[in-house]
Copies of this chain bind each other. A is one copy, B any other.
């Protein structure tokens, strides 16, 4: 059974380390975050850190590094206050993955991929056309993470669009019915099939 200590991890070469540490936390969400600058240049970028923070109010958060390609996303959100979260499903896997390439700030990823902008409900930020779940978000707050200079950005769900046939009677959204992806590490993609829903648990004693 392979075993790595803190020292082993510190001493690893870069690529091995980022593959290992990115895949050891478990499956991740696969989303495209859409934004637009006031100048009118749209941006779409893949994120694997979108996390449920709370349901009342309906809050989602994600982590970003201020010094990489992701800077466009952060700058646009700070400038305009709005962004969209769009789920990546099987038909757009390759195009979505390509948004991880580092384009300069004056190029829209919508122009270099087959992904298409979708404007609705007067949102300033673009949704991704055909995404089975499209979420219009409003910026709420952010936390600079001292331990590694990343940022946790939190938004509230303002508009939620869900493809037909995913929504069940009790509000459950069946992600596998839309072939929504899950990310393993930096570059591994899975299309999970729902196995089962388990009942609400009460103590046995």
Contacts and interface: CB of A to CB of B under 8 A. Distances in A.
Interface of A: 1-6, 9-10, 12, 15-31, 48-60, 63, 85, 87, 93-94, 97-103, 107, 112, 133, 135, 140-141, 143, 145-148, 150, 152, 154, 156-164, 167-168, 170-176, 180-182, 184-185, 187-205
A189 B182 contact: no
Given A21-B52, A27-B27, A176-B184, A201 B97 contact: yes
Contact of A158 (B6, B58, B201): B6
A181 to B, nearest CB: 8
Contact of A20 (B59, B158, B173): B173
Contacts of A2: 161-162, 164, 167
Given A27-B192, A51-B49, A205-B112, A6 B159 contact: yes
B152 A143 contact: yes
A17 B171 contact: yes
B184 A175 contact: yes
A118 to B, nearest CB: 12
A67 to B, nearest CB: 13
Given A4-B160, A16-B171, A191-B192, A26 B54 contact: no
A146 B181 CA distance: 31
Given A26-B50, A185-B173, A17 B56 contact: yes
Contacts of A154: 145, 147
Among A20, A87, A112, A205, the most chain B Cβ lie within 10 Å of the Cβ of A20
